[in-house]
Amino acid sequence: MTPAEHAELALLLEVAGTPKPGNVDRERDLDDLRFEQFLAGAVGAREGLEAAANGPVGEAFETAVAGMADASGTNTQFGCLLLLTPLVRAAARNDLSPEGVSDVVEATTVEDAAAFYRAFEHTDVAVPDPPAGADALDVRRGADAVSALRERDLTLRDVLELSADRDANAAEWVEGFPRVFRAAARIEAARGPVADRAASAFLELLAEEPDTLVVTEHGEAVAEELQERALGLQAADREEVAAFADDLAERGVNPGTTADLTAAALFVALERGVAVDD
């Protein structure tokens, strides 16, 4: 399979993995977000993922987000695609490693940053406030922020560095994807259906750091509570994890950034030979 095919499959396996507390999975739809919308989002993102294998990551990301939004009618996998795009590019260059993906990140341009901003116009994304003094660069301004980018000569890497302290996906971008590669190694080492391994990886990632989407939407205390509870469930049976999942669904708490990291880790594991017929 090609890197773009593995990336699309990673999106599908991520949403299939269950129980994945707080998120849509094979066994759970949310009130306003259904499993089948994630299937459609993955299909729609494929064209952009193929573009990532061949060209600039910013434009490829925008194409993937536009395709996802058109197919699913909502924002199903924006964060996943932000992580997958440079990883697909690195894999297509036969250098899927922390160094290889850092090379891709370092090579991003102001044009990549402009495409990243345009991507926000295709769908609604929950984002933290911009750093103090960086209102002109608020991603919620979409294409209106592009002139500020050009004036300041900011690349996509520069832009993501600005939010690395409050967005785990941005932190991965600037730090060589450490959590993604570690989770991928755990998926590789595990046994059983790949979607089950993804669900375990999700719970491990949730126990590792507070989910930054939860911080944005519900505050730090809630994110830390989730981390604590995930930590206590590392050796738990499926029923205990399912009870945690029911609780989060009821409260409307969605650790979406942890799902993004899980999808990216699945991609790396698939590239390294993990397969659904293992």
| CB-nearer residue toward a copy of itself: 10 or 146 | 10
Instruction: Tell which one of 221, 231, 243, 275 touches a copy of itself (CB under 8 A).
Output: 275
Instruction: Kindly state the number of chain residues that form the binding site for a copy of itself, as judged by CB under 8 A.
Output: 31
Least distance (Å) between residue 5 CB and a copy of itself: 5
Q: Which is nearer to a copy of itself, 187 or 230 (CB)?
A: 187
Residue placing its CB nearer to a copy of itself in the complex, 35 or 128: 35
Only segment of 2-10, 51-59, 127-135, 217-225 that touches a copy of itself (CB under 8 A): 2-10
- Nearest distance in Å: CB 139, a copy of itself: 24
Inter-axis angle of helices 220-232 and 194-208, nearest 10: 130
Q: Is 64 in the site for a copy of itself (CB under 8 A)?
A: no
Q: Which of residues 173-212 bind a copy of itself (CB under 8 A)?
A: 193-195
| Between 13 and 241, CB nearer to a copy of itself | 13
What character string, x for contact with a copy of itself (CB under 8 A) and - otherwise, covers 136-175? ----------------------------------------
Cβ neighbour number for residue 234 with a 10 Å cutoff: 12
Q: Per CB under 8 A, which region of 65-73, 183-191, 207-215, 222-230 contacts a copy of itself? A: 65-73
- Find the binding residues for a copy of itself in span 4-43 (CB under 8 A): 5, 8-9, 12-13, 16, 26-27, 29, 34-37, 39-40, 42-43
Q: Please state the closest distance from residue 264 (CB atom) to a copy of itself, in A.
A: 17
CA 117 to chain centre: 17
CA distances from residue 105 to 37, 80, 102, 260 in whole angstroms, order as listed: 30, 16, 5, 18
Q: Which of 70, 103, 138, 208 binds a copy of itself (CB under 8 A)?
A: 70
Task: Give one word for 73, left, alpha or beta, with left for phi > 0 and alpha for psi -120 to 50.
Answer: left
Binding status of residue 71 toward a copy of itself by CB under 8 A:
yes
Kindly tell me which of 35 and 164 has the beta carbon lying closer to a copy of itself.
35
Give the integer Cα–Cα distance in Å for 15 and 28: 10
Q: Does 73 bind a copy of itself (CB under 8 A)?
A: yes
Question: Exposed, middle or buried by CB within 10 Å (0-12, 13-18, 19+), for 30?
Answer: middle
19-25-31 Cα angle (round to 5): 115
How far is it, in rounded angstroms, from Cα 128 to Cα 227? 19
Burial annotation 53-78 (CB, 10 A radius, 16+ → b, else e) = beebbbbbbbbbbbbbbebbebbbbb
* Runs of H (alpha helix) within the chain: 3-16, 35-54, 57-72, 78-92, 98-106, 110-119, 146-152, 156-162, 168-175, 178-189, 194-208, 212-218, 220-232, 238-251, 256-271
Q: Is the dihedral of CA 205, 121, 45, 112 positive or negative?
A: negative
Collapsed DSSP state (helix, strand, coil) of residue 33:
strand
Minimum Å distance from CB 111 to a copy of itself?
Answer: 26
Q: List interacting residues with a copy of itself (CB under 8 A).
A: 1, 5, 8-9, 12-13, 16, 26-27, 29, 34-37, 39-40, 42-44, 46, 70-74, 193-195, 275-277
